[in-house]
């Protein structure tokens, strides 16, 4: 009969060690997939900037047009 007083698994490690190993494998897989998804990002993104309603009058060139601006961010290495 095989007595197992310490809760060891037959492969030589405790249950807690097996859980920790499983978590490490899972976290490593998640980290690798995160790196892959980061590489799928665009190198350039553009978006419109909106004025703060409290300061819109200070930004106006005239009363006929709303102030507007567009920003473009280019991803790159420093």
Asked, for residue 9, whether it belongs to a domain, the answer is no
pTM attached to this predicted model: 0.42
Asked, for residue 7, whether it belongs to a domain, the answer is no
pLDDT of residue 24: 75
Asked, for residue 4, whether it belongs to a domain, the answer is no
Q: From CA 67, how far away is CA 47, in angstroms rounded? A: 15
Asked, for residue 50, whether it belongs to a domain, the answer is yes
pLDDT tens track for 24-62: 777 777 777 765 555 667 789 999 999 888 988 888 889
Q: From CA 67, how far away is CA 65, in angstroms rounded? A: 6
Domain boundaries, position 69: 15-74
Asked, for residue 1, whether it belongs to a domain, the answer is no
Q: From CA 50, how far away is CA 59, in angstroms rounded? A: 11
Q: From CA 44, how far away is CA 76, in angstroms rounded? A: 9
Tokens of 70: 């567009």
Total structural domains in the chain? 1
pLDDT of residue 69: 92
Tokens of 25: 């494998």
Cβ neighbours, 10 Å, residue 67: 14
Asked, for residue 60, whether it belongs to a domain, the answer is yes
């Amino acid at each position: 009969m095989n007595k197992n007083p310490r809760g060891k698994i037959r492969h030589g490690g405790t249950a807690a060690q097996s859980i920790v190993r499983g978590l490490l494998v899972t976290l490593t897989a998640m980290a690798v997939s995160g790196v892959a998804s980061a590489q799928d990002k665009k190198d350039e993104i553009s978006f419109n900037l909106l004025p703060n309603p409290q300061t819109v009058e200070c930004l106006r060139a005239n009363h006929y047009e709303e102030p507007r601006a567009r920003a473009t961010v280019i991803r790159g290495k420093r």
